[in-house]
Amino acid sequence: MNNEITIDDLDFELLIDNDQIQKSIRLIGIDINMKYEDKLPIFIGVLNGCFMFMADLLKQVTIPCEMSFVKLSSYHGTAQQDVKELLGLEMDLRGRHIIIVEDIIDTGNSLKHTMKALEKLEVQSIAVCTLLIKPESMEHEFDNILYTGFEIEKEFVVGYGLDYNGMCRNLMHIYKHVPRDEEEHV
């Protein structure tokens, strides 16, 4: 296993290896299987980053369930902020139990938009399952983040679905950026 990698002159070191990731996913899967045993949940993965996590998670889910993927689209309007729209949802969610699957929750802005869009569809419940969360970066309060793989510091991470300029999603481990001496003094 390679503990250090360089991408476009940025250095990264191993943060979480795949064995740790898989152990955490197994535990999350056991909990979901028990809690949603008779509820036929719908797992909704937020693309692009969730694809590896969601694939491995659903291998651990042994109860009947459905799945779909969505993508957030940003539009620059006249206001200073982005308006986000949920794209790709083509199933009736009214009265259903939803489990949003995220790769990482940083500020929580994207999750907030995803939840608002789903709540408009009159779902019965929404739970959030995320591989990574950065508690120090959170700008919103959520009471339904029920499943978290790992809490991490405010650091830039890649691998296992997380990208840097579209690259590194395919890495099986998660790496964190390590500033070089000259980067720290800038």
pLDDT tens digits, 49-59 = 999 999 999 99
Catalytic residue (choose from 19, 82, 103, 106): 106
In a domain, 186, yes or no: no
What are residue 81's phi and psi, to 5 degrees?
Answer: -115, 165
In a domain, 107, yes or no: yes
In a domain, 12, yes or no: yes
**Tokens representing residue 5 in the block:** 């990698």
Count of residues making up the chain: 186
**Tokens representing residue 29 in the block:** 């899967």
Tell me how far CA of residue 38 lies from CA of 1, 35, 44, in angstroms.
41, 8, 18
In a domain, 39, yes or no: no
What pLDDT is attached to residue 53? 98
In a domain, 76, yes or no: no
Q: pTM for the full model?
A: 0.88
Residues 113, 72: Cα–Cα separation, whole Å: 8
Q: Which residue has the tokens 């790992």?
A: 150
Q: Which residue has the tokens 């009471």?
A: 143
What pLDDT is attached to residue 83? 43
Domain that holds residue 162: 4-31+46-71+92-180
How many domains in the chain? 1
What pLDDT is attached to residue 25? 98
- Helix/strand number for the chain, H first, E second: 4, 10
**Mean pLDDT per 10-residue interval, the chain, length 186 residues:** 84 97 98 97 93 97 95 52 64 94 93 89 96 94 96 95 91 93 53
What pLDDT is attached to residue 76? 43
Q: Is 38 a catalytic residue?
A: no
In a domain, 158, yes or no: yes
What pLDDT is attached to residue 1? 64
Tell me how far CA of residue 61 lies from CA of 43, 100, 123, 130, 146, in angstroms.
10, 14, 21, 15, 16
CA angle 12, 13, 14 (to 5 degrees): 130
In a domain, 82, yes or no: no
CATH number for the domain including 175?
3.40.50.2020
In a domain, 86, yes or no: no
